[in-house]
A and B are shown apart, each in its own frame.
Chain A
């Protein structure tokens, strides 16, 4: 049972345009969400997070939106740059349950075309 789903395995975007990566979840107990970026032969690096008490969090070119009623979050990258080409994982956590576990999605490979 995949509790966190990234239904698009890949996405191609022109440099300078907006990249939108999507993530859906099924567990209403999740209250903290994160996005990680992963380059080949490197470990994932933390990008941005959002708590369930918010619906938007912005950090430079990266914005994460959370729609709790739809159990959906998205990552917007504006403007997209070739260096953003990587695999992006969303992750969810239910911290108040006492666990520090994250549940990761399967990832979306973003390719930004110059």
Chain B
């Protein structure tokens, strides 16, 4: 089974802090994704990556950056945290070689910015 692990389940940070959210997958997947989930808005894509050192903006990249130095690890960075970034953050991965494959999700990090 695919395992996507997010380093923290709950995180509380202060406004202006630099925040790192880490995600690791164990299935050698090429594609990795960061979403945020907010009530009434569903899952919105922040950034995704097709390969090591590759990244592309999703639908709501403002205020975020990402890093993919190793295939199995995809980090989301909040450069200067703000209260409107309080949310549930979900990481996912998928296999690129097989044309149509579902994304596999981690259990999420609930981030509160005070």
Contacts and interface: CB of A to CB of B under 8 A. Distances in A.
The contact size tier of chain B is 20 to 34
Given A49-B100, A49-B102, A100-B31, A42 B108 contact: yes
Nearest to A98: B50
Contacts of A45: 105
A51 interface: yes
Nearest to B48: A101
B99 interface: yes
Nearest to B58: A101
Interface residues of A, number: 24
B55 interface: no
Interface string B92-114: 10101001101111111000000
**9 pairs of A and B residues whose beta carbons are closest in the complex:** A43-B105, A46-B102, A106-B42, A104-B43, A104-B42, A43-B107, A44-B105, A100-B31, A43-B106
Interface of B: 4, 9, 31, 35, 40-45, 48, 50, 58, 90, 92, 94, 96, 99-100, 102-108
Interface of A: 6, 9, 32, 34, 36, 41-46, 49, 51, 89, 91, 93, 95, 100-102, 104-107
6 contacts: A42-B107, A43-B4, A43-B90, A43-B105, A46-B102, A100-B96
